[in-house]
Amino acid sequence: MRTRLYQAVAIAAVLTASATVSSPVLSADLYADPPLYDAAPIPDQDVFEGWWLGGTIGGATVSYDMAPASGSVSSSGVLGGVVGGYSWQHGPFVLGVEADLLATDITGGRNFNGGLNRVDVSLDNMADLRLRAGYAVLPNLLLFGTFGGTWAGADLAISGPGGGFRETTLFGWNAGAGAEFAFNPNWSARFDYQFTDFESETISYPGGKQTYDPDANMFRGSVIYRF
């Protein structure tokens, strides 16, 4: 009985060793590390096409050339609001229209006329309408340029002899550039720069007329949701 038991054990050992040697792939599979989770990549498709809406925040500087008062007055501050639009995409080429509505707090001032007068300027709100053209250097990375028009509400005050307070509306054109990175087909992040050249505005005060010619430089970051 014991001899038969030993023989059975020996036969089982030989069969096990033979199976291991003859099936190296199966053996490797048994001890292979489990595959790591790989997030689904963004498909190679027109990810920048469609309606989109987002929030934007940034900063700006505005410089006002003044006449007949010599020199200029500089202002700076923050802005934020909503931005949205629609884009068409054909291959890597993207064309679209976009607009934004911004609340701003961009203020500044200086003394002039030998210190007898002081000018204080404030940009309170702004809206833009732009065309956008871009090229997707990667399926999810778009480089673009913009061009359009701008409207802004401004407060222009002069204190001292002959001064006063005036509210006015500024109009101008804008041009900019930026980049947008899509995390997936719905969400993306965007950063852009915009230069705005406003038309000159002449304001009548009790002491005479003053002309302002403002230019603005704006930097903004945005989070975009694409429908």
pLDDT per residue of the chain (227 residues) written in tens, 0 to 9: 444 434 444 444 444 444 444 444 434 444 455 555 454 455 557 899 999 999 999 999 999 999 998 789 999 999 999 999 999 999 999 999 999 999 999 999 999 988 899 999 999 999 999 999 999 999 999 999 999 999 999 999 999 999 999 999 999 999 999 999 999 999 999 999 999 999 999 999 999 999 999 999 999 999 999 99
Domain boundaries, the chain: 50-226
The predicted model scores a pTM of 0.79
What is the SS3 assignment for the chain?
CHHHHHHHHHHHHHHHHHHHHHCHHHHHHHHCCCCCCCCCCCCCCCCCCEEEEEEEEEEEEEEEEEECCCCEEEEEEEEEEEEEEEEEEECCEEEEEEEEEEEEEEEEEEEECCCCEEEEEEEEEEEEEEEEEEEEEECCEEEEEEEEEEEEEEEEEEECCCCEEEEEEEEEEEEEEEEEEECCCCEEEEEEEEEEEECCEEEEECCEEEEEEEEEEEEEEEEEEEC
Task: Choose the CATH number for 50-226 among 3.40.50.450, 2.60.40.3950, 3.40.605.10, 2.40.160.20.
Answer: 2.40.160.20
